[in-house]
Amino acid sequence: MHITQLNRECLLHLFSFLDRNSRKNLAKTCHKLLEVFQDPLLWSLLNFHSPVELKKDNFLLGPALKYLSICWYSERVKVCNIEDWLKNSFQKDFCNRHENTVSDFLLDVCNRCPNLLSLTLSGCGHITDDCIVLLLRSCPRLRTLKLENCVRITDRTLQAVPLHGGSLQTLHVDFCRNITQAGIETLREKCPSVMLRAERSANMIPDSQPEKKLLLEKASRKLVQL
């Protein structure tokens, strides 16, 4: 029996065991398998391990997507986590190559995946509050949001949960250095039903504006002179 003689349900089941590249390669062999590859039901779960993977054409975004994970654990993540005004030219050039990659991808998710239930982002140092707030608005069924080592996330994301995260049950903001203890406590008061975890976040040194750093340096110099 040839594989193309199987019915649609069997083919979808077989495709579900393959990784994205294998699915894409198999879909190139005939029109029937391409149709299976393009079936939204095949794409309810997506896991990515680097921003580069987001630019490939070996997956499909659609209303069937329910579980999305973008976790980048490379050493290069450390470069993205450096404050912008402290980066040297090499570091800035590196970040410029992919600074908007994850944000642009999540914008597509907002437009195409209204039934998203769970989102995990780790090491996405260029993701901002605006992006997460838009996602909360666009995906009203979102139940789980896990943010780890996303350094640009601030209390604005926490403030958006009572307004737009009506379905949210679990929120992690681990190692997000610009989350404050005050923001955490306020969210816990407003949304006691949300399982909130903020490991290390409020205990880390937050970013400060260059003007503030300059004032602190001047104050330190005056103390030294005295």
Per-residue pLDDT at 77: 82
The amino acid at 128: T
Mean pLDDT throughout 166-178? 96
Q: Which residues of 178-196 are buried (b: 16+ CB within 10 A; e: fewer)?
A: bbbeebbeebeeebeebeb
Average pLDDT, the chain: 90
Report residue 84's pLDDT band, with 50, 70 and 90 as the boundaries.
Answer: confident
Please count the CA atoms within 13 angstroms of the CA of 63 that sit on its side-chain side. Answer: 0
| β-strand partners of 119 | 68, 145
SS3 211: helix
Q: Say how far apart CA 28 and CA 71 lie, in whole Å.
A: 28
Q: Say how far apart CA 17 and CA 22 lie, in whole Å.
A: 10
Give 99-126 pLDDT, tens digit per residue: 899 999 999 999 999 999 999 999 999 9
Report residue 74's pLDDT band, with 50, 70 and 90 as the boundaries.
Answer: confident
Residues in the chain: 226
Percent of the chain with pLDDT over 90: 73
User: What domains sit in the chain, N to C, each tagged with a CATH number?
Assistant: 1-42 (1.20.1280), 44-224 (3.80.10)
pTM: 0.86
